Structure 1
Amino acid sequence: MDRWTDGERLFATALGRLTDEELDGPSLLPGWDRRHVVAHVARNADALVNLLAWARTGDETPMYPSREARDAGIAEAAALEASQLRTELVAATARLADAVRGLPGPAWSAEVRTMQGRPVPASHVPWMRCTEVVVHAVDLDAGVGFADVAEDVQAAICEEVFGAWERRGETPDVVVFAGDREWGSGAVAVSGALPAVTGWLTGRSRGEELAADGALPELPRWL
């Protein structure tokens, strides 16, 4: 839970550095301005509330009815006035916090599914939210970077990325080192500081700060 709450604070810090006018500027995500990032983070909170409702009631409630519905919800929120968008983010985050506090103990072990269809226990939901707010805090391009994220959270995100690739059979031919941490078992050795590694693996940088004993490969998408 601490990871999640720290992540929410980090996203709030990044957003708080931006003026309303700057929300119209580009984010680090191709095709999305900062408004769309904030809108996505708000709608993600509600999507995770759906998973907790599923865990609590046993009635299947997916994160989103469809990818089209997800995209439409993000677009609708992104079109709000800046002050309304900020208010909606706060409200959605509060709804998620209420759902977490209200979930009975046994329900945390109930199985739900991620957007990608992966079965996970409801206890995984706070971590899912942590990754969302941490990575998208960086995407706001407001002076918050992975160096502002706890090292154990960065390392866990790197583990998540490799896990996603492995499940899809898309693991690149690399072994990645960040200090005494290591991921992968491929032929190309890549090393660097943990924030640089996290940025590269999540697709938020092109690996300019990394060293490699060969050409850096093009990485598959994370999600």
Structure 2
Amino acid sequence: MITGSRTWVKEATQLFLDGVDHLDDADFASPTGLPGWTKAHLVAHVHFNALALRRLARWAATGDPHPMYASSEQRNDEIASGSRLPPATLRLVVRHSAALLAEDLAALTDESWLREVVTAQGRIVPATEIPWLRAREVAIHAVDLGIGVTFDNLPDDFVNALLIDVVRRRSNLGEGPGLAAWLTGRAQSAPRLGPWL
């Protein structure tokens, strides 16, 4: 498990939920910096992410495979349909699913935490990765809500872990050399990167 992940989940979830509570109903229809997504899409995504990670927690608890999503189409359809829910419903479901995920994770035994599960990207990881997957989602999307939270508001150790994770993922996508050149001051501007993560 990435050190601090369980604490980060709790803190970042609260940060995200507080942000959702600060949105006016009209704000849910406003765009975010994520292409094609309104704030309603963002809140729906965080809700369905909790449900998907609950499936991984069930996998860890029982040993029976429970994939996060049946397909990428399922994930996309959930977000699209969720974005059309009324703001009051979105506020309710995103809070409820976060609480259920926290309960599921708290119930995992030492043996369960060591079981391997498969992420939506197809990576085989121990269940100890689940808190990191959630912390990353809620922290980054708290920033994406556009309610004044920035990466400066996130814990330094979380940001360090996030940088390592993102650079590793970008490198695996073939974007490592350009990032290395820029991050070491050997390029004047950031490289053009693939789709947002």
Structure whose residues are more often strand by fraction: 1
Report 1:90-105 matches (<5 A): 90-105=95-110
Matched, 1:215 2:189: yes
Structure whose residues are more often helix by fraction: 2
Letter in 1 for 2:17: A
Q: Contact between 1:161 and 1:222, CA under 8 Å: does it hold in 2?
A: no
| Residue in 2 that maps onto 1:187 | 181
The Cα shift of 1:143 comes to: 1.0
Unaligned segments of structure 1, at least 5 residues? 175-185, 192-211
| Residue in 2 that maps onto 1:198 | none
Mapped to 1, the partners of 2:188 and 2:174 lie a distance apart of 22
| Residue in 2 that maps onto 1:43 | 48
Mapped to 2, the partners of 1:131 and 1:7 lie a distance apart of 8
| Residue in 2 that maps onto 1:160 | 165
Q: 1:78 aligns with which of 75, 80, 83?
A: 83
The Cα shift of 1:213 comes to: 4.9
Secondary structure in 2 matching 1:169: coil
| Residue in 2 that maps onto 1:128 | 133
Q: Contact between 1:172 and 1:220, CA under 8 Å: does it hold in 2?
A: no
Encode CA deviations 1:135-190: one digit per residue, 9 max, x unaligned. 1111111111111101111111111111112333331423xxxxxxxxxxx33346
TM superposition score normalised by structure 1: 0.81
Q: 1:62 aligns with which of 57, 62, 67?
A: 67
Q: Contact between 2:53 and 2:68, CA under 8 Å: does it hold in 1?
A: yes
| Residue in 2 that maps onto 1:117 | 122
Mapped to 2, the partners of 1:159 and 1:109 lie a distance apart of 22
Q: RMSD of the TM alignment (CA)? A: 1.6
The farther-off stretch of 43-52 and 8-17 is 8-17
State the number of aligned residues. Answer: 192
Matched, 1:5 2:17: no
Q: Contact between 1:111 and 1:122, CA under 8 Å: does it hold in 2?
A: yes
Which is bigger in relative contact order (C-alpha 8 A, separation at least 6)?
2
Secondary structure in 1 matching 2:56: helix
Q: Contact between 1:164 and 1:222, CA under 8 Å: does it hold in 2?
A: no
Q: 1:169 aligns with which of 167, 174, 180?
A: 174
Mapped to 2, the partners of 1:215 and 1:53 lie a distance apart of 44
The Cα shift of 1:216 comes to: 2.5
The farther-off stretch of 15-24 and 36-45 is 15-24
Q: Contact between 1:172 and 1:217, CA under 8 Å: does it hold in 2?
A: no
Using the aligned pairs only, state the percent identity: 38
Q: Contact between 2:9 and 2:132, CA under 8 Å: does it hold in 1?
A: yes
Q: Contact between 1:165 and 1:222, CA under 8 Å: does it hold in 2?
A: no
Q: Contact between 1:56 and 1:107, CA under 8 Å: does it hold in 2?
A: yes
TM superposition score normalised by structure 2: 0.91
Mapped to 1, the partners of 2:122 and 2:44 lie a distance apart of 22
